């Protein structure tokens, strides 16, 4: 009986410590420095390609020498933040690109995951798409309030 109580107390502690040992760099694949901040997401995803062959989002979503695709300008962190957080989609009525605290309700996540009810196609156009780890970081940023950091 004593061993059973020790086991029952020890298992949750071990499981908790394993969950806390998670390193983002182990999850984010081709962007090991990616953090759940606006500046990191912009630098690692929006404005740069990665080793998987994924192109930078700002290749299409910029006003440098062109009109940004879908009117969405992601050329730098300040511009991207203003274009995304609390802003409605120009293509899908009633959709908001980033709803702070609500990753599932954010159209950015829906487009990046390729949900069936999006307008147009999954992003980035033609893939490769963000990895599960990269999506986890984007979701964490949104869930934690989508701060302009």
Does residue 36 register a pLDDT over 90?
A: yes
- Give a yes or no: residue 16 inside a domain: no
Helix (H, G, I), strand (E, B) or coil at 141: helix
pTM of the model: 0.82
Number of domains, the chain = 1
- In this predicted model, what pLDDT tens digit does every residue of 38-76 receive, in sequence order? 999 999 999 999 999 999 999 999 999 999 999 999 999
Task: Identify the band that residue 21 occupies on the pLDDT scale cut at 50, 70 and 90.
Answer: very low
| DSSP assignment string, 90-135 | SSSTT-BSB-TT-STT-HHHHHHHT-TT-SS--SSTT-PPPPHHHH
Q: How far apart are CA 134 and CA 3, in angstroms?
A: 42
Domain span holding position 132: 26-143
Residue 18: inside a domain: no
Tokens describing residue 3? 């061993």
Check pLDDT > 80 for residue 94. Answer: yes
Whether 10 is in a domain gets the answer no
Residue 57 lies in a domain: yes
């Amino acid at each position: 009986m004593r061993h059973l109580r020790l086991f029952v107390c020890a298992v949750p502690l071990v499981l908790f410590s394993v969950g806390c040992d998670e390193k983002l760099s182990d999850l984010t694949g081709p962007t090991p420095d990616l953090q759940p901040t606006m500046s990191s997401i912009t630098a690692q995803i929006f404005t740069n390609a990665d080793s998987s062959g994924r192109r930078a989002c700002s290749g299409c979503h910029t006003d440098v020498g062109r009109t940004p695709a879908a009117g969405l300008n992601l050329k730098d962190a300040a511009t991207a933040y203003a274009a995304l957080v609390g802003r409605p989609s120009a293509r899908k009525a009633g959709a908001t690109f980033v709803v702070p605290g609500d990753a599932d309700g954010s159209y950015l996540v829906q487009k990046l995951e390729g949900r069936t009810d999006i307008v147009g196609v999954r992003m980035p156009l033609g893939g490769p798409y963000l990895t599960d780890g990269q999506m986890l970081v984007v979701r964490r940023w949104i869930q934690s309030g989508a701060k302009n950091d």
